[in-house]
Structures are given as structure tokens and as C-alpha cells.
Structure 1
């Protein structure tokens, strides 16, 4: 069985310990993963700090070319990388291929952003005593970025941290999710072959509980970027001190569907809602979880969703026709089973699904779910949605906002006033009109409010988060009367 190592300073180093990685679908062992110790994590940070002293001087066109070469290498190894994702995360192969497509685009966007780092001029004479001064800003890299990434998009969400860090001229220490280290470790080879200088990218699989503190408190860490649970995000925020932090945390994305759509249009909305609810088993940060439907079309829409959910194919993630596969681990399946049972005990009706076979959960739709049930208040991160009727648009917005999260919201309506009302009043980092909240393209700003986090991803926006603004002021005509 393959045994992996740590990537520190362009060198493979044995981990302080090893942990067996198992397939979420079959339970079979995949590899022995070398885990970093706290001392090795500190070593990676020191190496990254030393590399920053020269890397920040590397010209933008060179950084852009490195990122373009990585994108090109990924294109050539597309199927290999997709199958790697499917194997270690149980992501259905079709979805895994889609992730590789997006990852390639993400690195290309990062290459473009590297070439387009710019400041602005400041109109100093807009204020008294500002005349005869020329001022402009520059964006400068911060230094060492530590990145802690999740399992659900093990290549693209990594790219959303590694790409902008390198584009900005920072160095990086990457700790991938415990379940998906292989998708990150392969980046060592891709970036080395693409000409990235030694020490700029360091990859240290390991326990988040063990390594989290050193990655967030080491004095040479300048920026922390994390995607994961609100609980861990709050801990990172508390530990980070004055360091900058981007946190992309939980969500239970709402979708509002107004009346006024034709039967054919509702069929298309149901298709998109099915994809946004059940793609990769709902293990997507902006997966649809709560659907609010106007009472006049409610029954018909529930029927459409049930029909579609029951047609989804459950099976091996490497099978071409699989739509639904295993949840990431047994704990996730056990949690969702309890939440379904709790909702039913409070009056919820299971329209379809609600069954489990090992870590595999059938696509599940519940109605009449209590507003305070976990399935309406917490992040499910599984193939399950609740559908609730509403009478007025204001009521739908109020129900959607009855959440501690606020990442993306979606609203389908033909009424421009209602569309604008949704855009103004929905409490989320992104409001998507006539689009599902699961929609994302990789150059758009992405992040949340409330317990969904702080800061923004999306390559240019993430790059700006990872840089300082430096002001330069020149006093003119100093010696002239």
C-alpha cells in the first residue's frame, strides 16, 4: 500500500506518524498517510518564511506563468485527478470531472490576477493642505499564508487558497482535510514541475486538532484561510490575534420559489433544484437545504422533486451513472439519521428517502418540518432538503432569514419588485435571483455573513485579502514659494 510523506521545502519528508486512509464507499484502505507533528508544522512555516524573502520579488509574469503551467498539467492529467478525487472522497466521477474543470479555471484566473495587481491614485487636493502632494497605493504580499482546507472540493477549494496566495507573491503552508490528503499532495509534483521555487508551497497532512494552534499562532504566519465548521472557525478567530483571517464556514442555503411560473418552467426549476440539493450527496457548502414554495404551486412542486429524487442512481462513485454515493464517514450518516428521526418525532413527513445503507443515505425530502428542527437550523451537509409552503413573499424572506447562517440564498420570481426585495432583504453574502444558491463560478466574490464566516474568496477578492495596501505620498515643489 502506498505510504505518503510531507512536502516541505521541495523535499519529501517522512511524517512523524502514519494514519490509514479508507474509502468512504467501500471502507477499503487506500494509503498510509504520513502525518505531520507540531514540530514539522513549525518547520514548514519557517521554510515558507525563508522562501518569502525572495519569492515576493519574483515578477508577476513569472508567477502567472507558473500558475498557467499548473493548469495545463492538470488538463493533461484530467482523468487521473478526477479518479483520485472520486476514490478518496466518494465523489461521483462525473462530479469529480466537473471539479477538475473548475480547478483548471481557478488556476487560470489566478494567473490573470497575478498580472493585474494594481493600486490607485489618491486625489490629495480634495482636502485642504493636500495640494502639491502626489499619492498612490500599492498592494504588497503579506508573507506566510496557512491554509486549512475541507474534504468536499479537495482540489478546487485548495486552488482557491493556493492560487491567490501564489498570485499575490505569498508563500503557503497547506494542511488538507484528513480524508482527502492525496488530492493535495499531488500538487507538490505539479507545482515543482511548473517551476515554483522551493519552499513556496508546503503540504503537511495531519490532525487538525493537533496542528491547528501552531498554524494559527506561529509568529511568522501572516494570514490564515480556513474552510470548515463554525466551531473551528470561531476557535481560529480567537487564536489568530491580529493576523488576518478568511473564514468560509457553515450554511443551510434557502431557495424561494414564487408563483407565476408555467408548468414547463417549474419542471426546469425542479431539475435545477434537484442538482443543487443532491449533487455530491449535498456535501457542498452552498447546497440547497431549505426550500420555500408559494402555496399555490407547493403540492405540485413537492411531487416533481420526489419524482426526481427517486430517479437518482445510488452506487459506486467510480461508476459513470452514479449520482449518489457514500457520505464522507459514519459519523455524518449517524448524525443525519438522528436529525431525520428527531424531525419526524416533531411531525415531519418523509416524502422520499430517509433510509441508510452503511454510509450511503438515500436522497431525502421532508415536509412539515418544525422551524426549530436541526434540519432547518443547522447545516445538514447531506442529500436532504425540507420543503415548506408560504403565502406571502415577505413571509418567505422572513423564514429564509431565520437562520444563524448566511452564505448564499436563491430566489425564483417573475416579479421585479419581489426580486429587488429579495436582493435587499435576504441576509446572505450572495443573493442569486432566478438561480439556485448552489450556483458558483470561480471568479465571483464568495463568502458569508453571520456564522457563515468573514472575508471573501473568488480569486481576485481572495488575493486582495492576502495583501496589504501601502500608501506612498510625495510632496511636490517643496522649495518653491
Structure 2
């Protein structure tokens, strides 16, 4: 252990149900206040392999456990988390600077996610196949089973450090798998907290192992180790593509980038949608995989929408994430703030106009609305992951759909319209994993299938759908 390490703030690894020291520790600072929160264990290759070994050795324990018992453990975890909800929300806000109002919302969703996982644990089944439909099938019956895949390697992001862990851990346990979890470097405390919750919930030792430290070291070991049967990753496209290239025949579920778009048709009451547009663009500082980044408004409503949207954005409270009325706080790092300010500077050199924000106040980026932005600007064509939204004028839904599709991403898109034909056209022609009609693309409930096309990734999350990824189908045929 480091000589200068403060033992009271040291957070060890969790391997095989026990706290394990690492050779080195790194300080974790609040993105908002810069105060040190904790010292985080840095796992090396040997410790990562130790965690994989623990998961591998416990895979039969969880795999052979009856479904009702797996469900009970998940229900227990949801109950314990309900009792410790405010503590959990405070951890999220401290490590990620997510405003406490949104952290509480995340904890509520995490509880629901584990409840959904408990329910799905009891619904894992195959189907019977009519073998006599083929002439060679007479006298035979067949059915499929879904069996646990084994050990799941889970790599999670910082933006929903508790609920996106739940979207990997919940279905893995429900399906009877063991897990090695590598949380984001800035938000490890949420994952360590959840591991404690599961220990109290009765999860056998070794089923959930949490290893913190550098992604380049831990991620490489997880992807290459043959005992890991599936990698589920949420993060950047570049890292996801790297995982895919190294994984070989290992199964992968990859939730990658996005620059989600919203279309506003000409027949919409603008006052009724402003609050949703503000939430979609600016909740959690825009650090949401399906944050509303591009808005295409029909020219008849463009002036009204932009003026009301900008006025609403300017009312949002900036500041301390633990203050009850804070809506926008710090981005996850100073580096991210510098990047977003650089992107804003790029827009200032173009014909684009900034209607709101465009500056940082006490290290917090003000909610920023940019209009008349060229499609080639970074704020439009790349994933901004900040409280920045681009609003452009269109003359039809068809043109808007073409602009939405002119992207290397395709996670979710939304359309506000009262025209059924326009809604059907958008739902058929938008090149995305999910189309949200009469709401922002930022809409998600945790049981729905969630995932994208193009560089937004492969596979689907959402408990039932994640369990399909985390199980193998086996066919059984009886010759009578």
C-alpha cells in the first residue's frame, strides 16, 4: 500500500466476497469541488486474473441455484437499496457531480431495474418445436433450454454509475452468471456500494467481483481471458470497436456513442414540450447516451421554439450538485470542460449563432443552445456529451429524417407530431434502434429493449433482452 495512503478513505477491490488490497492507490476527486473523496485501489493484471478466477469458480454456484432463489437475492438487493436510497444518491452526486435531484431519480430507477431482473429470473425458458412439421421429424419431440453463459465481464460508464451497473449485474445474476465488474475510473464508489448491498442480500461470494483501476490494463485482461464468455460494455465507440476487434468469438454487447435527434413537426403546441426538451438536452449536464443533441424544427414554429427554449435554458440553476435546486453542475472532468469549450469556439468561427450559454461559470458549463450550425461542426456530427444542443430549421419531416440519418450513430430519435402519417414515416425511415413518438429521444424505462445501430453499438439492454444475450440456447431432441 502507498506510504501516504489515508486508510480511512482507501477503497479496496472486492474479490470472492472479500476486500483485497492493491499494490497502488489513486486519489479520487470531486469533479465539482476538487476535494479528495477517496483513494481507489488500482488493480493490475494479476489481481484482475484473481477476480476472474473467483468468478469462474463460483459460476456453478449461481448457475445451479434455483430461479426463485436468484430472484429472492435480487429482490433483497432492491429492498436494501430502497432503505439506503439517500446514501446511494449522495454517493452518485459526490463522485460524478450529478445534481442530487437526478441522482435520486437514478437510484429509483436502479431499484426498479433490480426488481425487473428478479421478475425476469423466473421467466427464462425456451420453446417446444413441432418436429413433425418436417417429414424427417416424425416420432421426435424437441425443445430449447436457455443456460447461463458462465462468466460475464462488465465494463460500465460514469454517467449512470449505479443504474448502468444494474443493467449488467441484474440480468447476469438473473440468468445464473457470475460477474467481474470494472466500473468507470471516476465513479467506482457506486459499484463498490452495490457489491456491499448484494453481499447483504445473500449473493454467494465470488459471484460479483469489483475491480477498480486503469481500463487499459483491466479491460485487456477481461477481453482476452478465455474464462470470460461475454463482455458487456457501455462507453465510447473507439474503445468499443477495440473490444470487438480483440474479442474474437467471445460474445459482446456494446452500447456506444450517439448524437440523438428530435424532430418537431409544424402542428405542435410549443409550450407543452419545452420542459421535456430542457430535460432531454440538459439533464445530467447532457451526459446521457440518449441526450437530445440535435433538434430539427419546422420553419413555421422555429422562431417561437428557439426563443422559448433559450428563455427556459437561461432559468436553470448552476452550481453545487448537492444543492436541492441545482439543475446543472460540473462535467465529469476539467478535460471534458476544455473540450466542449473548444467545440463551442469552433462554432463561433462559423455562421452558427449561440442563443444561450456558450461559457463556463465557476467551472460549470452553462446550458448552451446553438442555431444555424453546419452539419460538419463537431457539436453537430460528433457526440457532445455536455449541455449543448443544436437547433436547425427544416421545411418538412422528410427532410428532417434525412438530416437525422446523416450520422454515424443511430441510438434513439424522437418526433413530436400530431400527423399519423408523419409519425409512421419517421418510425419506418429513421435509422435508429428506438423511435420515440411525441417525446424526446432521451426517454427510457428500464425494461424496454435499448440499443442502437451503426456506431451506436450491437446487442440490446433491457432485462429480458440482456438475459437473451447472457444465456446460450441448447436444443434437446427426443426420438420416441
TM category, shorter: over 0.9
Matches of 2:74 and 2:351 in 1, distance apart? 53
Matches of 1:188 and 1:442 in 2, distance apart? 20
What is aligned with 2:86?
A: 79
Matches of 2:314 and 2:96 in 1, distance apart? 23
What is aligned with 2:222?
A: 215
What is aligned with 1:48?
A: 55
SS of the residue corresponding to residue 61 of structure 2 reads helix
Match for 2:158 among 128, 151, 155?
151
SS of the residue corresponding to residue 32 of structure 2 reads coil
**Gap regions ≥5 residues in structure 2:** 1-7
Q: 4+ residue runs of structure 1 moved beyond 2 angstroms?
A: none
Q: In 1, are the aligned partners of 2:146 and 2:473 still within 8 Å (CA)?
A: yes
Matches of 2:364 and 2:133 in 1, distance apart? 63
What is aligned with 1:365?
A: 369
SS of the residue corresponding to residue 136 of structure 2 reads coil
What is aligned with 2:422?
A: 418
What is aligned with 2:318?
A: 314
What is aligned with 2:308?
A: 304
Q: In 2, are the aligned partners of 1:330 and 1:358 still within 8 Å (CA)?
A: no
SS of the residue corresponding to residue 53 of structure 1 reads helix
Q: Which range is displaced more, 45-54 or 168-177?
A: 45-54
Match for 2:243 among 236, 246, 254?
236
Q: In 1, are the aligned partners of 2:270 and 2:304 still within 8 Å (CA)?
A: no
Matches of 1:23 and 1:181 in 2, distance apart? 12
What is aligned with 1:103?
A: 110
TM-score normalised per structure 1: 0.97
Matches of 1:154 and 1:392 in 2, distance apart? 39
Match for 2:471 among 447, 467, 474?
467
Shift of 1:317: 0.2
What is aligned with 1:429?
A: 433
Residue 191 (structure 1) aligned with residue 195 (structure 2): no
What is aligned with 1:37?
A: 44
Matches of 2:261 and 2:16 in 1, distance apart? 44
Shift of 1:359: 3.7
SS of the residue corresponding to residue 206 of structure 1 reads coil
User: 1:44-193, aligned counterparts within 5 Å?
Assistant: 44-193=51-200
Matches of 1:358 and 1:310 in 2, distance apart? 16
**Gap regions ≥5 residues in structure 1:** 477-481
Matches of 1:146 and 1:274 in 2, distance apart? 35
Matches of 2:300 and 2:476 in 1, distance apart? 61
Q: In 2, are the aligned partners of 1:70 and 1:194 still within 8 Å (CA)?
A: yes
SS of the residue corresponding to residue 164 of structure 1 reads helix
Residue 226 (structure 1) aligned with residue 230 (structure 2): no
Match for 1:7 among 11, 14, 25?
14
Q: In 2, are the aligned partners of 1:328 and 1:359 still within 8 Å (CA)?
A: no
Matches of 1:258 and 1:188 in 2, distance apart? 46
Q: CA 1:359 to 1:122, structure 2 compared with 1: closer, same or farther past 3 Å?
A: farther
Q: In 1, are the aligned partners of 2:354 and 2:371 still within 8 Å (CA)?
A: yes
Shift of 1:152: 0.4
Q: In 2, are the aligned partners of 1:24 and 1:359 still within 8 Å (CA)?
A: no
Shift of 1:210: 1.7
RMSD: 0.8
Matches of 1:473 and 1:344 in 2, distance apart? 67
User: 1:323-338, aligned counterparts within 5 Å?
Assistant: 323-338=327-342
Match for 2:385 among 369, 381, 386?
381
Question: What is the CA deviation profile of residues 144-169 of structure 1, one whole-angstrom value per residue up to 9, with x for unaligned ones?
Answer: 00000000000000000000000000
SS of the residue corresponding to residue 113 of structure 1 reads helix
SS of the residue corresponding to residue 129 of structure 1 reads helix
Shift of 1:16: 2.3
Shift of 1:358: 5.2
TM-score normalised per structure 2: 0.98
Q: In 1, are the aligned partners of 2:62 and 2:173 still within 8 Å (CA)?
A: no
What is aligned with 1:356?
A: 360
